[in-house]
Amino acid sequence: MSKIKEKLKGIPPKSIVMLETPLEEDQMRLVADFLKFRRSDKGIFVSSNRPTNDLVEKLLTYNFDLREALEADRIFVIDLMSRSVGASEVKGSIYVSSPSELSATQMAIEKAFERIDSEAGKTWLLLDSISTLLVYNSPGALLQFLHFLIGRLRVLQFNGLIFTVGDSVEEEVLSTIRQFCDMVIKL
């Protein structure tokens, strides 16, 4: 059983979880394990680390077919990287010009909320990296964005999983984000 599946198995529906991982952890393996664990549920993947076309290729190496999930409208990717690095676009993704565009990111997430056929407690949102978003945004702006986003997830009765690399974020910022969440899992 994968680390992430083991940790997430007993979490109640409609929970917001922050997953703190060490720097040496294989982040893509964790993402793939999460996507496989939630395979039968629909979700939104906010990617600030990789363009969607790269995600599709990388996740295939971990035996998860993201392209098929995108085409079946089971997963919507909010891609914060492709446009800024000139990557090609993939059907089923919603593109934001840069990870620094938090307002545009929230609008893209709202568009995905409208498109997804959600079911209370079974639909999820995965945010792949607080650390990356802090490279492009001030801590205050990011905290405001996360506070609003988590509030929306609660209203819509989504599950939320927020990834962060533990040592790459100031403790003050992490402790504030932990307060927004229902649970923190440290790997």
Q: Where are the domains of the chain?
A: 13-164
Q: Residue 74 — pLDDT band, cuts 50, 70, 90?
A: very high
Percent of the chain beyond pLDDT 90?
63
Is the pLDDT confidence value at 2 over 80? no
pLDDT recorded at residue 167 = 76
Is the pLDDT confidence value at 63 over 80? yes
Of 17-26, 40-49, 168-177, which has the strongest mean pLDDT? Answer: 40-49
Are the C-beta atoms of residues 23 and 168 closer than 8 Å to each other?
yes
Q: Which residues, including other chains, have CB under 8 Å from residue 86's CB and lie 6 or more apart?
A: none
pLDDT recorded at residue 1 = 47
pLDDT recorded at residue 149 = 96
**Interval 10-32 mean pLDDT:** 87
Are the C-beta atoms of residues 74 and 65 closer than 8 Å to each other?
no
Give me the architecture of the 13-164 domain, per CATH: 3-Layer(aba) Sandwich (3.40)
**Interval 154-163 mean pLDDT:** 94
**Interval 53-80 mean pLDDT:** 95
Is the pLDDT confidence value at 103 over 70? yes
pLDDT recorded at residue 177 = 93
Percent of the chain beyond pLDDT 70?
98
CA dist 48 and 128 (Å) reads: 6
Is residue 72 within a helix (H) or strand (E), and if so which, with residue range? none
Is the pLDDT confidence value at 111 over 70? yes
Q: What are phi and psi of 98, to 5 degrees?
A: -165, 155
